[in-house]
Structure 1
Amino acid sequence: MNRAQAPLRLTALDVTDLEAISAALQDAVAQLGDFEFSSRQRSFTIAFNRFRWEVSGRKQRVRCGLQIGHVLAARSHNIRQGAEEAVVNLLSIGFEPAEAPSGALVLVFSGGGEMRLEVECLDLAMADISEPWPATRRPGHDTDHS
């Protein structure tokens, strides 16, 4: 298996690392039932089907897990709680710093949905967990903002 086909595994301990994870997960889709917050373990886990942006000339998706550590609280806005089978499309993940090294991870979803995770520090791990499969199309965005 060549490097372009190898499973992607990334960690983020700072904002620069977080930008790489955000880019890899852009347009990833998940069901709300695949979100899990454990206050006891102070972690938040999401399973996504992500588009493999890093594979040039191919349209593929792969199952991917995102683990976020040191989570103190989780809040959502414009996301239907209890709708386990509802599908969301991730646009980006950002960080709003507070008293160093703490802050809020902000996951922005299409349609105006947002998840805010208050964290003690940045501690994310992302890993592909399945073989890739063909995607029907490459994700796109309306760029006409007139």
Structure 2
Amino acid sequence: MTDLKLIALDSEDLEVVSAHVQDAVIRVADMGYARGDRRFALLMNRFDWAGDRPRAKGQRKRAALHFDGVTRAAFAGFDPAAPEGVVELLAIHFEFTEAPAGVVELRLAGGGAVRLDVDYLEARLSDLGAAWAASARPSHRLD
């Protein structure tokens, strides 16, 4: 599998990034806001939906995602100080407030979220290494 490297500079780009990180598993200790650098970054184990075959368990890959131009980060539905906590990323959305500024929302399973106020949208996703067999294929109830 080829390493994925994507950049998102608008909402359509971010939808592509969101699709690639759907069902990523993230340790709470592996995410954080660097106020001085105006950057929010996280490490994840993403499920490789692009290489997925029906009825196969699939693969996961270590990846990094960061957002630049971040002026504020807020957390809801989980304890950001819990180093052993784990969250599952469902989707990433962006809405303008005063263009080019806006809000990036990382929506998590169980109703949690990370909300980033940004001066502009710039996100980068990069795979960091070899893939491994997933222990299970993610699935969701549709109700």
Paired residue for 2:34, among 38, 56, 67? 38
Aligned residue runs from structure 1 range 1-146, under 5 A = 5-57=1-53, 59-143=58-142, 145=143
What TM-score do the two structures reach when normalised by structure 1? 0.93
Aligned amino acid, residue 31 of structure 1: R
Runs of 4+ in structure 1 over 6 Å off: none
After TM superposition, give the deviation of residue 81 of structure 1 in Å. 2.7
Distance 2:110 2:50 in 1: 25
After TM superposition, give the deviation of residue 105 of structure 1 in Å. 0.1
Q: Which runs of 5+ in 2 are unaligned?
A: none
Distance 2:127 2:94 in 1: 23
Distance 1:45 1:39 in 2: 11
Question: In the alignment, is the contact (CA less than 8 A) between 2:52 and 2:59 conserved in 1?
Answer: no
Aligned amino acid, residue 79 of structure 2: R
Aligned amino acid, residue 22 of structure 1: S
Aligned amino acid, residue 71 of structure 2: L
1:63-115 per-residue CA deviation (whole Å, 9 max, x = no partner) reads 00001100000011112131011000000000121110000000100011011
Secondary structure of the corresponding residue to residue 14 of structure 2 = helix
The answer to which structure has the higher strand fraction is: 2
What TM-score do the two structures reach when normalised by structure 2? 0.95
Question: In the alignment, is the contact (CA less than 8 A) between 2:46 and 2:63 conserved in 1?
Answer: yes
Q: Which runs of 5+ in 1 are unaligned?
A: none
Aligned amino acid, residue 93 of structure 1: I
Identity of aligned residues (%): 39
What is the RMSD computed on CA atoms of the aligned residues?
0.9
Query: Would you say how many aligned residue pairs link Structure 1 and Structure 2?
Result: 140
Question: In the alignment, is the contact (CA less than 8 A) between 2:76 and 2:112 conserved in 1?
Answer: yes
